[in-house]
Amino acid sequence: MKRLSVLLLAVCFVFGSLSRAAAIDVKVKGRWQFSYGYYGNYSLYDGDKGPGNKMDPFQARMRARTQVEFIASETLRSVLQFEIGTQNFGQPGFTALDADGKDIKVKHAFIDWTIPNTKTSLRMGVQPMKMPGLIAGNFVYNNDIAGVMASTEFTPEVALTAFWARPYDAYPAVDAKGKRFDEMDLFGFTLPVKTQFVRATPWAMIGSVGANSGYYENSYNATYAPGYDAANRYGQSLAWWAGLSFELPTLDPFIVQVDGMYGSLSGKDNRGTSGYYLAMLLGYKWNWGTTSLVGWYASGDDGEWGKDDMGRIPVVSADGGFEMGTRGFAGYAISRDHGISGLGSGTWGLGIRIDNVSFIDNLTHGFHANYVRGTNSGERIGPDSPLYLSSSSSADYGRINASSDHYAYLISTDSAWDFMLINTYKVSDNFNIGLDLSYTRMDLSKQRSSQWKDTADAYAGVINFAYTF
């Protein structure tokens, strides 16, 4: 509690000082969320044959974000955002007894300023960055990061954003020869084009990846790590990505959206991974709601374990970057999600969406359903593969189950179904209440060891509260 008191005292001191400085305007905004839900077998595995069914079925959770903007002029401002990260009620930390945990953290801290006599603006510091993705976000790169971003507008229809970011710097990490290779740097751009006929955003990114930077140990890359073992890492490796997202507003009320991207990472002896992702959404806006069909395909690994390059697109970070709209994937910020996968890599699927249906004022409904299969080769699940999961250790479990990691490694004979009913009631302009009901089923291949091929269905009922100011 002392830390919280000191923080609030500091904020009050800053506000008090600013009140005497007429040149600075202060704006505060935020989003506080609460979730109360019952989760039946969220892990999807049969509790009698593996480490499934171990999570408490009832969970109460919260997250609070508060952002303060210090505005000097239209061309200069700074932003500081505090966050109490997602917490289960009663767990050690902020929501424990006496509420004196050390869980208040800085999420964003950056300045925005415009170069004098130009249309070019710069953003410096820890900031949100993500690559384009219309249909389900972008699972290659979507997170908060330290870097510099520059944006300019050529015409009202064409703009450019370029950036440098450093997601990792593990200094003073060294390898066996005393060399560090402890940094990862990213350079990229987006080129949004908006006309009455098309809205398109081509983008590209290149990365220099240090073998000791920490990239390979990131939990988002947990299933990549076995293929990127120490023997395959090479000093400072090269990674690159390119993609395009576009939609056709001229066809309104029809909806046409397309996302596509390709990426590659090369390691020692040209070993590494390269892959692609393509998604399309076709929809129609009715007077009673919006209906859509969605499909995607992301390349997977080919060949036997340890003998071939991997075929999945490399990932930097995917914090909520594959939002197919159901609980099986990412996108539900504080209630449990990504039961099937937090990424789209190594999967293909088809889905339907029904959104914005309303029979009563301020009450809306939606229904999402997805069918998913893996695209990774079944040859990688042989007895000699660490993905065979012949033991019950948590490390092996994490390589297939998304609830203990961010990615479920699905082969071509693995499949899953995911259904969700979404209901939202707008109490006021600042306050919403939601009720979500979901059901998920996963069927694993007989190629897996008998201990791990048996699954149990998952279901959930969650009430959400969101206060936005």
Residue 152 has pLDDT above 90, yes or no: yes
Least confident interval from 9-18, 232-241, 319-328: 9-18
Model pLDDT, residue 71: 97
pLDDT digits (tens, 9 = 90+) for 434-453: 999 999 988 877 665 554 55
- Do residues 227 and 200 make contact, with C-beta atoms less than 8 angstroms apart? no
Give mean pLDDT, residues 378-393.
50
Which domains does the chain carry?
110-468 (2.40.160)
Q: Torsion-angle region of residue 331: left (phi > 0), alpha (psi -120 to 50) or beta?
A: left
3 state DSSP class of 253: coil
What does the alpha-carbon distance between residue 436 and residue 334 come to, in Å, rounded to a whole number? Answer: 13
**Average pLDDT of span 128-151:** 94
Residue 357 has pLDDT above 80, yes or no: yes
The continuous run of DSSP H or E covering 8 comes out as: helix 2-18
Q: 369: which strand partners?
A: 352, 419
Average confidence (pLDDT) over 269-273? 68
User: Which pLDDT score, from 0 to 100, does residue 322 have?
Assistant: 86
Which strand (E) or helix (H) includes residue 249? none
Cα atoms in the 13 Å half-sphere on the side-chain side of 424: 13
Task: Return the structure tokens found at 365.
Answer: 């409904």
> What three-state secondary structure class fits 226?
helix
Length of the chain: 469
